[in-house]
Structure 1
């Protein structure tokens, strides 16, 4: 296995999740070769170490670009940085996908830059409710992304697993505190998850103990409980 080395590259933050096929597709649509991309990044963005081989490595997923490299690549390919980013998960990745400077997000959220950067680097969001809402507005976060970025997804998963496997009625309010949806939607979704999980497990209790396949199916359903929850929410909210 080979590695691309560029020792003259400046130190930089790790880049967001890179969409290598999108980079290759966008380059081809412009009729550019890797050498054209490399030349553009050298001349227009002051990155002399970028070679055609490095561009090819990015497109093959061998060596993802850093944050600065991705921004320069987007400039050369005449696209927004978000078009070169796979589905963002972290606070930094969402900010990069929107092409927003950290100081702008910090200002919108009412935080000093140093505090915001600490949260971004640690992945531990500590803003209050007002700051959290401002963050969601600044980054245009969907509710699922907001829950993930603010570190609430693990707690949501725990509540949803309990709701699916026990009495779901007792979890409407706790889940609503994490995912503020209308009560009737939450009730319908939690009931659906409960019924789906019980359906996966029903065969285990029949025919003299059922099969291990049904147990495996039930565990898989609980493992994907957060995705199952948001899918059910989207069906009801459009």
Structure 2
């Protein structure tokens, strides 16, 4: 499954309608003023009704329209976005064009474009570090965008179900956090998984291996999110 895209219209980023309305009102502008500013500066013919529709959350601007709207409202594109989830959305929040970002991380644009479209990360560690710095990526997002989340999932699953001690260093290679922090998280995941398995077997003396397995699988299905929570990061 692509890790850098959402299903749906890829040309329409998540839009913060309330922020757009608040910024416009703070400038003393009407939707007609905004529409005029977009047309004058960017050559885009947007009606005042469309601007009002964006602010009501009935429709949302495309990437090009979002950039123009930010210009008309004298703000950064990121101020008009909802919480970014994809690589493209993090880029939009910075106001960078794809070619600008590719150049700043030392990657050819075709490779970057493929990545943003949901392709596989083929960059090196230096490029990953640059990507994180330029886009101000939280660690969970960096791990996801550089294609390491599936490997992390496998290691965390094994750590929770077998001997967690052997996975501290391997996990730390993917997640560069202090060793003690990772150790505490893995030990906690191991303890909680086995507590869940034991508890589900003892529910009202009517537990079964099927119930135990179901509860255990549910925990393992969210193992990465559980890990990020334990190290104090949002996944």
TM-score by length of structure 1 reads 0.79
Q: Which residue, out of 137, 159, 166, partners 2:155? A: 159
Distance 1:16 1:209, change over 3 A: same
CA displacement, residues 129-177 of structure 1 (integer Å, 9 cap, x when unaligned): 2221222222222212211221222332333233223332232233223
Instruction: Establish whether residue 231 from structure 1 lines up as the match of residue 229 from structure 2.
Output: yes
Distance 1:214 1:23, change over 3 A: farther
2:114 partner SS: helix
Distance 1:77 1:223, change over 3 A: farther
Distance 1:59 1:124, change over 3 A: farther
Q: Which residue, out of 205, 226, 234, partners 1:208? A: 205
Structure 2 match to 1:32: 29
Gaps (5+ residues) in structure 2? 1-9
Instruction: Establish whether residue 95 from structure 1 lines up as the match of residue 91 from structure 2.
Output: yes
Structure 2 match to 1:136: 132
Q: How does 1:18-97 map to 2 (within 5 A)?
A: 18-48=15-45, 50-97=46-93
Q: Tell me which moved more, 115-124 or 211-220.
A: 211-220
Once residues 206 and 25 of structure 2 are traced to their aligned partners in structure 1, the CA distance between those partners, rounded to angstroms, is: 57
Question: What is the count of residue pairs matched by the alignment?
Answer: 223
Once residues 140 and 186 of structure 2 are traced to their aligned partners in structure 1, the CA distance between those partners, rounded to angstroms, is: 16
Distance 1:192 1:75, change over 3 A: same
**RMSD value, Cα:** 2.8
Distance 1:183 1:203, change over 3 A: same
Once residues 70 and 84 of structure 1 are traced to their aligned partners in structure 2, the CA distance between those partners, rounded to angstroms, is: 8
CA contact (8 A) 2:76 2:95 kept: yes
Q: Which residue, out of 119, 123, 127, partners 1:127? A: 123
CA displacement, residues 179-227 of structure 1 (integer Å, 9 cap, x when unaligned): 1222221111111122233334432121324499987765554343322
Structure 1 match to 2:171: 175
Instruction: Establish whether residue 14 from structure 1 lines up as the match of residue 3 from structure 2.
Output: no
TM-score by length of structure 2 reads 0.80
**Post-superposition shift, 1:63?**
2.7
Distance 1:225 1:69, change over 3 A: same
2:117 partner SS: helix
Once residues 214 and 26 of structure 1 are traced to their aligned partners in structure 2, the CA distance between those partners, rounded to angstroms, is: 52
Gaps (5+ residues) in structure 1? 1-12
